[in-house]
Every structure is written in structure tokens, then in C-alpha cells.
Amino acid sequence: MQRRVAIIGVGYTPFRPITPDMSFKEMMFEAAQKAYEDAGVCPRKDIDAFVTCEEDFTHGRSIFNIHTPDNIGAVMKRIHTLPAESLYGLADAFMLINTGLVDVMAVESHSKASNMLTPDYLVAHAMDPVYNKPLGYNPYFIAGMEMNRYLHDSGVTREQCALVSVKNRANALLNPDAAYGDRIAMDDVLESETMFWPLNRLDMSSPADGGIVMVVACEEKARDLCDKPVWVRGVGWCSDAPSLETREWGEAVYARLAGEMAYRVAGVTNPRIEVDFAEVDDTFTYKELQHLEALKLCAPGQAGFMVEEGATQREGAFPVNVSGGSLGVGRLDEATGLQKVLEVVLQLRGEAGPRQLEDVSVGLAQSWRGVPANSGAVAILSNE
């Protein structure tokens, strides 16, 4: 350890609530073409290995990775699938490049959530098949319980959570690729339908479709191929207890440990000073606050005040989810983590258009695997 690793190309399709005009194969192809064009590489000649991140059930098939190689130019090459959140794919590329076995690698993930007619029933199959699934609950009750416990432990209020939704949906208005940009007020969130108490409809993100591909390279190749490499300074990932009966409900332990690992790899000792902005998981409003605390991006118990004071606004001292996050962009299933990385890359390259942040050099992307999982990953990126 350790070779320096950089993201040298990104490609993506716009994030939309439905995509009737494209199959997942076409989405993969479009994102891959754009990423290879961006990096100036030919997948047949220049890319040594590929990793795709997708789950079988969200595609309604067994062994989804059968369908991956042709769409991204990976036929007869090293390619494998991680049935995991896509930030794990970036970590995977980071490791493979660090072995010295490969120099250039592509990471792919996509969401075709609109194909799922009854996604909640599907997620119910992720519950423990012996103890929990037979109870027949909608699995999102877990988020309600977790939110309640988090509010109780941390002193964060429902109003502060609602402000996260207001902020992220407003941020999304400046992101032409976001599906759910909106100008709403705190009361709109508090008065929206109660879904899983205390979680209201506007506290929850909605699904969206989209494909993302990134080209990742070792330092020599990155300098050779790219004017504006974005360095992957550290990655970390962690799984906490999967069972509902034994897990920690108030604290996002997986995010804390994944963050500690990423900071260690990146050599970051004081994240609140060294990191300029973050894209953290905001599948539900309280998750953004819970994750900011777990990642030590604010003092313990201060996340609620941060959002209240506007510190996490785009113009604030520590911008969070400038892209709009999952609340504004849409929840992209396995591709959510790469969307977070994408925003950090665009900001660090200075290509974020009207939502561009000034003077940023280090950004953090974090993901959570979603209900009912208790795991997630972190990446720390820098343009220096």
C-alpha cells in the first residue's frame, strides 16, 4: 500500500421516475459510452476489469450478472458482480488496483425501479425468513421504529428532520438530472401523510431510474489519460448486526465504523476540518442527520441544530447533499452510492453548473444499503 487511485471518467443517464423508452441494458450502454468517452478510453483495449453492482430481485431474475458484459463492453474480460450497494463497487476497484493486477477498471450500477410494481413486497423478502418475514409487516416499519429511537436518543426533533427534506428537494431544483426537485415548507412535511410513525410521506425518498458508470485508474494511467483526476483517498465499509433483535437502533454503527476505516485509509484525522462537503445517505430525512453524527461530521447531538441553522445548506459552512440527495434526486436502489460519488466528482471537477460549490477540495460520499440492512460504505475523494 498504496497506489493512488483516481476516478477519470463518469457517465450517467438522467434520473427519472420512469424510463419507458429504455431497457436496463440500454441504460447501462448509454452510461458506459458516456463514461468511456469522458475518460477517453476504449473498453476493449484499455480497461482491465469491470465490476457491476446489482441485486437479482430488483431485476426480477436469478443470476442477474449473466446480463452484464455485453452492455458495457466487457465480453471475455474480467468482470464480476457485487450484489451490493454501488459504493462497494468503488471500494472493490480501489482494492483491485492496489493489488497491482489491474490498472484501469470500470464500475457500473443502475436502477430500473420503475419496473417494480410492488417494491415493498419485494423488500419484505429481505427480512429474516424465520423470525420476521412470517409476521407479514411492511418492512418500512423498521425505519419508523429507528427514527423514533434516534429522535429519543439524540434530541433531534421531527421539525429538524423535516428541514432536511425541504433543503434537499430545494437543492434538487438546481440539478437538471434530479427527479424530485421541489419547493416545499417544513409544515408540508409535517402535515404529509403518516406512513410509519413518526415517518411521514415527505420524510421518505421516492424511487427513480438511472444508470451510472465510472472509470477508475491507477496514478500513472490517470495522469496519462485525464486532466482533472479525482483521487479516491480512502474507502471503508462495514456491516453491523443484521437481525432486528440484536441491532443498535439509535446509532448508525455501520456508518461510524465505515467512516473510521475510510478516514484511516485516507489519513484524515479531523473530518470536520479536513472534509469540505458531503453527500450522505438520506433515504429518509432522519438518516441524513444520523449519518452526519456517525461520520463525525458534526459534534454528537448537533446534527439537528446544523440543519436548523442552515449550516448544511448549499451556501452553508458544510454543504450536505447539494445534488438533492435521495430525497431530491430519487432513490436509485443499488446505484444510490454511485450517485453520491458522482456529485462529489462533479463538484471537485468544477462541473456542477448552477449548484457548483466554491473552493472545495475534499468531499465525502456515504451510502446505506436500505431497509432492513444495517451496512454501508464511505469514500473520501479529493481533487488534489
Partner 1 sequence: MRKVAVVGAGMTKFMRRAQETGKELAWETAKLALDSCELTVKDVDCVVMGTAPDAFDMVHMKHEYLSDGAGAWRKPYVRGFLGGGTGVFTACQAWYHVASGMFDVCLAVTEEKMSSCLPHPQGAFVTCWDQFTESPLGTSLLWFFAWEMNRYMTSHGITEREIALVSVKNKKNALHHPCAQLPGEITVDDVMKSEIMAWPVKRLDVSPTSDGAAVLVFASEEVAKRITDRPVWVQGVGWCLDTMYIGQRDLYYPKYVEYAARMAYDMAGIKDPRREIDIAEPYDPFSYKELHHGEGLLLCDKGEAVRLLVDGETQKTGRQPWCPSGGALGVGNAIAATGVMKVAELFWQLRGEAGERQVPGRPRRGVAQAWGDEMQVGTVVVLGV
Residues in contact with partner 1 by CB under 8 A are 1-2, 55-57, 60-63, 65-70, 74-84, 88, 91-92, 94-96, 98-101, 122-123, 125-126, 128-130, 236-243, 246, 253-254, 257-258, 261, 265, 369, 372-375
- Assigned C-alpha cell, 118: 410492488
Min. distance of Cβ 264 from partner 1 in angstroms?
Answer: 10
Please tell me what DSSP assigns to residue 354: G
Min. distance of Cβ 61 from partner 1 in angstroms?
Answer: 4
- Beta pairing class for 277-279 and 199-200: unpaired
Q: Are 146 and 296 in contact (CB under 8 A)?
A: no
What is the longest distance spanned by two Cα atoms in the chain?
57
Instruction: Identify which of residues 94 and 286 has a Cβ nearer to partner 1 in the complex.
Output: 94
Name the CA radius of gyration of the chain, rounded.
19
Closest CA to 279 of 336, 229, 333: 336
Min. distance of Cβ 25 from partner 1 in angstroms?
Answer: 9
Instruction: Identify which of residues 261 and 346 has a Cβ nearer to partner 1 in the complex.
Output: 261
Tell me the CB-side half-sphere exposure of residue 69, using CA atoms within 13 A. 11
Min. distance of Cβ 112 from partner 1 in angstroms?
Answer: 13
Min. distance of Cβ 236 from partner 1 in angstroms?
Answer: 7
Instruction: Identify which of residues 57 and 141 has a Cβ nearer to partner 1 in the complex.
Output: 57
Residue 384's contacts (CB-CB under 8 Å, 6 or more residues apart) are 231, 361, 362
Instruction: Identify which of residues 180 and 284 has a Cβ nearer to partner 1 in the complex.
Output: 284
Instruction: Identify which of residues 118 and 359 has a Cβ nearer to partner 1 in the complex.
Output: 118
How many whole angstroms separate alpha carbon 275 and alpha carbon 22? 38
372 cis-preceded (ω within 30 degrees of 0)? yes
Instruction: Identify which of residues 126 and 292 has a Cβ nearer to partner 1 in the complex.
Output: 126
Min. distance of Cβ 176 from partner 1 in angstroms?
Answer: 32
Instruction: Identify which of residues 246 and 270 has a Cβ nearer to partner 1 in the complex.
Output: 246
- Beta pairing class for 277-279 and 362-368: parallel
Return the C-alpha torsion angle 96, 11, 319, 201, nearest 10.
-100
Min. distance of Cβ 69 from partner 1 in angstroms?
Answer: 5
Consecutive H or E run containing 187: helix 186-191
Instruction: Identify which of residues 2 and 157 has a Cβ nearer to partner 1 in the complex.
Output: 2
Closest CA to 233 of 265, 272, 275: 265
Min. distance of Cβ 36 from partner 1 in angstroms?
Answer: 18
- Assigned C-alpha cell, 352: 456542477
How many whole angstroms separate alpha carbon 87 and alpha carbon 334? 9
2 cis-preceded (ω within 30 degrees of 0)? yes
Instruction: Identify which of residues 290 and 383 has a Cβ nearer to partner 1 in the complex.
Output: 290
Min. distance of Cβ 11 from partner 1 in angstroms?
Answer: 21
Please tell me what DSSP assigns to residue 16: B
